[in-house]
Amino acid sequence: MLKTVIFDLGNVLFFFDHGKMIQQIGTCCGINPDDLKKIFFQHQVQIAYETGQINSGDIHRILSTHASKPFTLHEWMAAASDIFTPNLSLWPVIETLKKRGMRLVLLSNTTDIHYNYLYSHYDILHKFDAKVLSYEVKAHKPQPLIFHKTLQQIHCAPNECFYTDDIPEFITGARKAGIDSEVFTDVSSLKKHLYDRGCPI
């Protein structure tokens, strides 16, 4: 019996724009966007940040060594966070599941500034009963560890969960951990997946 629905954050609950983030941080710090991409993606800084190996203060210090002008921690955090657009078409599904007593869990590769920004700006996240965030559990999708930690943290058997994520590789990882999962494409398809599991919306 389905008791828990697990949602990804990025490109499921919220759309995000990495290009906008790079542009805004570049403007804030005076760093060329191509150089910023190298800092974040070629040197594994993003993964280290998302798995809690480094924090926001560390990122500020890293960027400061490349910056052509001074900037504050608050300024770069604002530039990095104002990149999200809510997927409003999904929110009624969240509301309905919550009203029916379904347990809602968030599972995301993310950072402290992104989650805190979204939590402070959008009440929809307050409806979730639990959250498993990569920077807190120090594991990253699709690593098996994060799915095992999710099941441990939410105290739910794999056959009582359903998980949706926009990245097929992450769905494969969840299935290997025994979690019933489907790729998120749109709200209509999600409703069909839930209906097939005895949870009509």
Task: Please state the φ and ψ torsions of residue 57, each to the nearest 5 degrees.
Answer: -65, -40
**The pLDDT of residue 102 is above 80:** yes
pTM (two decimals): 0.94
- Model pLDDT for residues 127-162, shown as the tens digit of each residue: 999 999 999 999 999 999 999 999 999 999 999 999
C-alpha to C-alpha distance for 97 and 93, rounded to whole angstroms: 6
**Closest C-alpha to 161, from 142, 181, 176:** 181
What per-residue confidence (pLDDT) applies to 83?
97
Give the pairing type, strands 4-7 and 180-183: unpaired
Give the pairing type, strands 103-108 and 84-86: unpaired
3-state secondary structure of 17: coil
The residue to which tokens 């979690």 are assigned: 179
Per-position DSSP letters for 147-187, written without gaps between them: HHHHHHHHT--GGGEEEEES-HHHHHHHHHTT-EEEE---H
Under the banding of pLDDT at 50, 70 and 90, the label for residue 52 is: very high
Provide the residue ranges of all domains of the chain, joining segments of one domain with +: 4-15+85-196, 18-81
**How much of the chain, in percent, has pLDDT values that exceed 90?**
95
Topology of domain 4-15+85-196 in CATH is Rossmann fold (3.40.50)
- Model pLDDT for residues 162-180, shown as the tens digit of each residue: 999 999 999 999 999 999 9
**The pLDDT of residue 41 is above 90:** no
**For 126, which DSSP code?**
G
Per-position DSSP letters for 92-115, written without gaps between them: HHHHHHHHTT-EEEEEE---HHHH
Task: Please state the φ and ψ torsions of residue 182, each to the nearest 5 degrees.
Answer: -145, 145
